[in-house]
């Protein structure tokens, strides 16, 4: 690996946003109601927009002429640096909402801090993303409350999603050598420092949703190092098909 820490860091931010954006986009035309179909597609477009900005910057940092499209469409699974949480299959509506809540409750304060980064490009991308994540957090949190305190079925589905998703939340807060130096230089955000705030948000919403926060047990890890579940491959097959089958095609 000859990638610079700043390249890897920017790529991680981009990959998280692209993969989650794709998962949200899978609801387009399939959501339980028209209103939510549009809401999920809106959030998907926010994520994909963030990914584009980060990819473009990553390509410039790398300096090998790779564009946002090259980075999104022409890397294989082991080149992706997203956390495992975002590549989990879309699941049912409760699963998608709870994942979005966990992610937004983390990324909203994260982008707030990143908007004060010493790296001006990262700061400006984050400043735009903060407003988007504020809405994702508001929307998903309100749904978590209504599903948890809703019908017997909605509560059961949400509880099941929680069991599935909780072990994937730990990876958001990991700090490795790649990021440590950037954090100390004031370029990157220290995710571990955000955990108390994240737990506070989760506890506040769970109290209204009548959900109990699980005990912390073993957490899944690996995505940020390029070790992914089989689900990412299927996602990329979908996402990258056109560029792989018809290289360079545009419309």
Partner 1 sequence: MTEKNMPLWEVFIRSRTGLSHRHAGSLHAPDAEMALQAARDVYTRRGEGLSIWVVPSSAITASDPSDKDALFEPTASKIYRHPTFYEVPDEVGHM
Q: Which of 33, 64, 65, 152 binds partner 1 (CB under 8 A)?
A: 33
Instruction: Give the nearer residue to partner 1 in terms of CB position, either 112 or 208.
Output: 208
How many angstroms separate the CA atoms of 34 and 95, rounded? 18
Instruction: Give the nearer residue to partner 1 in terms of CB position, either 38 or 242.
Output: 38
Here the tokens at position 153 are 């079925």
Beta carbon of residue 146, minimum distance to partner 1 (angstroms, whole number): 6
Q: Which of 30, 118, 138, 180 binds partner 1 (CB under 8 A)?
A: 138
Classify the C-alpha dihedral 231-235-237-240 as positive or negative: negative
The SS3 of residue 192 is helix
Enumerate residues 142-161 that contact partner 1 by CB under 8 A: 142-143, 146, 150-151
Residue 128 near partner 1 by CB under 8 A: no
Residue 28 near partner 1 by CB under 8 A: no
Residue 35 near partner 1 by CB under 8 A: yes
The SS3 of residue 115 is coil
How many angstroms separate the CA atoms of 243 and 110, rounded? 32
The SS3 of residue 223 is helix
Beta carbon of residue 208, minimum distance to partner 1 (angstroms, whole number): 12
Tell me which stretch binds partner 1 (CB under 8 A): 14-22, 141-149, 214-222, 227-235: 141-149
Residue 207 near partner 1 by CB under 8 A: no
| Helices of type H across 149-211 | 152-165, 177-184, 195-209
For residue 79, the 8-state DSSP code is G
For residue 170, the 8-state DSSP code is G
Instruction: Give the nearer residue to partner 1 in terms of CB position, either 141 or 161.
Output: 141
Tell me which stretch binds partner 1 (CB under 8 A): 31-39, 65-73, 93-101, 208-216: 31-39
Residue 29 near partner 1 by CB under 8 A: no
Which residue, chain included where needed, has tokens 């490009």?
A: 121
How many angstroms separate the CA atoms of 244 and 215, rounded? 43
Residues making contact with partner 1 (CB under 8 A): 32-36, 38-39, 42, 135, 138-139, 142-143, 146, 150-151
């Amino acid at each position: 690996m000859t990638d610079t820490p700043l390249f890897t860091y920017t790529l991680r931010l981009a990959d998280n946003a692209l993969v989650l954006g794709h998962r949200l986009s899978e609801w387009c035309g399939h959501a339980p109601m028209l209103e939510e179909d549009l809401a999920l597609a809106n959030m998907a477009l926010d994520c994909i927009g963030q990914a584009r900005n980060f990819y473009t910057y990553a390509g410039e940092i790398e300096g090998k002429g790779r564009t946002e499209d090259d980075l999104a469409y022409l890397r294989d699974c082991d080149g992706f640096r997203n956390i495992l949480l975002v590549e989990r299959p879309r699941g049912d509506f409760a699963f998608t909402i709870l994942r979005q809540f966990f992610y937004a409750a983390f990324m909203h304060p994260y982008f707030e801090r990143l908007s004060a980064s010493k790296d001006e490009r990262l700061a400006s991308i984050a400043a735009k993303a903060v407003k988007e994540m504020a809405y994702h957090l508001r929307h998903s949190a309100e749904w978590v409350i209504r599903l948890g305190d809703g019908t017997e079925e909605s509560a059961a589905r949400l509880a099941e999603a929680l069991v599935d998703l909780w072990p994937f939340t730990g990876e958001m807060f990991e700090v490795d050598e790649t990021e440590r130096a950037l954090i100390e230089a004031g370029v990157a955000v220290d995710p571990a420092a955000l955990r108390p705030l994240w737990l506070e948000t989760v506890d506040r919403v769970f109290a209204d949703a009548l959900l109990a926060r699980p005990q912390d047990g073993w957490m899944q890890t690996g995505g940020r190092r390029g070790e992914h579940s089989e689900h990412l491959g299927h996602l990329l097959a979908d996402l990258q098909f056109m560029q792989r089958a018809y290289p360079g095609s545009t419309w």
